[in-house]
Amino acid sequence: MSIFQKLSRFSTAIYHGLGLLAVLETSCTHTTPGISDWQPLLDSDLSQWDCYLSYRLSPRYDGDPPCDSSGRVIPPVGFNADSFCVFTTHQEAGETILRISGEYYGALISKKPYYNYHLRFQVKWGEQKWDPRKEKSRDSGLLYHSIGEPGVEYWRTWMLSQEFQVMEGHMGDYWPQARSATDIRAFAREGTINAIADHNQPFLPFGYGTQNGFHCLRSQNAELPNGRWNTLELICFDDMAFHIVNGVVVMELCRSRYIQNGNEVPLLRGKLQLQSEAAEVFYKNIEIRPLDRLPELPGWSRGE
């Protein structure tokens, strides 16, 4: 039995009741979807994406909207107005490469929402860094289950969503965006010690309105040295998710949700966002396939 079947049965029994468990067990007995189901999401025209830019932020940013010299609030750049060439493509060895300069905070946002899918792509770092992260680690991110309008979180840039962190030394970490939350198999934080994912631990709540904070570290650093392409994969099925870095499952999540008017609302589908976050980064081979069951694919491990 695969890791995904075991985890699916476990979390479904706890969070959804034993009645749904039988349905999920039955669905997991089918043949894994074929490779022909993969759908490319990247072309030279970025035809499957919109772009959104907010601001070029300063190190003094404190969460308030940036203002001009007269104190008037500066509006964000907005949708599909990338005159700054933050998002560009070029060809390299016959492949389409996406470059995100990072100069302005923003995101590529998929035109379609997705539900029950397997996403994979490759990513590597560039050289450039910008304020407010010139002296910090290079940063980007994959935001999934994205709903609503951009600009609803601290950086006034991104949609309400869940984050698969793409950051130097932190590939696969979890962050919420705005009012999202989820449960993660992890050790709880203690004082200044960060919470860290671990597949032997119980599911703990993270994100908005939880006692464990907003951030959970990946179970281990599976990132390759700078200059090499990393392969990242995201599995989302029902309320579960798996962050996979270079073949290693670094985080197991379930019960994705957000808080609205004090109530928990399931967050199971939405658009994808690729962040521009003050660092130059390159993406390629972005592709997705729909799932009608949790896949059984060889080659994944828990780093054991």
Per-residue model confidence as pLDDT tens digits over 261-278: 999 999 999 999 999 999
pLDDT digits (tens, 9 = 90+) for 90-140: 999 999 999 999 999 999 999 999 999 999 999 999 999 999 999 999 999
pLDDT-derived band at 301, boundaries 50, 70, 90:
low
| pLDDT digit string, tens, across residues 234-251 | 999 999 999 999 999 999
Percentage above 70 pLDDT, the chain: 86
* The two structure tokens encoding residue 288: 């997705």
3-state SS record for the chain = CCHHHHHHHHHHHHHHCHHHHHHHHHHCCCCCCCHHHCEECCCCCCCCEEEEECCCCCCCCCCCCCECCCCCECCCCEECCCCCCCEEEEEECCEEEEEECCCCCEEEEECCCECCEEEEEEEEEEEEECCCCCCCCCEEEEEEEEECCCCCCCCCCCCEEEEEEEECCCCCCEEEECCEEEEEEEECCECCECCEECCCCCEEEEECCCCCCCCEECCCCCCCCCCCCEEEEEEEECCEEEEEECCEEEEEEEEEEEEECCEEEECCCEEEEEEECCEEEEEEEEEEEECCCCCCCCCCECCC
Residue 201 has a pLDDT of 96
Residue 235 tokens read as 């599995």
C-alpha 117/C-alpha 22 separation (Å) is 21
> Is pLDDT of 7 > 70?
no
Query: What separation, in Å, do the N-terminal and C-terminal C-alpha atoms of the chain show?
Result: 17
CA-to-CA distance for 79 and 271, rounded, in angstroms? 15
**Domain boundaries 3-27+38-56+74-290, CATH class:** mainly beta
- Segment 171-179 shows an average pLDDT of 98
Round the average pLDDT of the chain to a whole number and report it: 89
Encoding tokens for residue 48? 């499957």
pLDDT digits (tens, 9 = 90+) for 40-73: 999 999 999 999 999 999 999 999 999 999 999 9
Closest CA relative to residue 284, chosen from 215, 232, 216, 234? 232
| Structural contact between residues 139 and 231, judged by C-beta atoms closer than 8 angstroms | no
Cα separation values, 131 from 55, 103, 128, 137, 278, Å: 11, 8, 11, 12, 6
**What's the predicted TM-score (pTM) here?**
0.87
Model pLDDT, residue 300? 64
Q: Is 22 or 296 the better-scoring residue by pLDDT?
A: 296
> Taking 50 as the threshold, does the pLDDT of residue 21 lie above it?
no
Ranges of each domain in the chain: 3-27+38-56+74-290
For 240, half-sphere exposure in the C-beta direction (CA atoms, 13 angstrom radius) is 27
Confidence of residue 294 (pLDDT cuts 50, 70, 90): confident
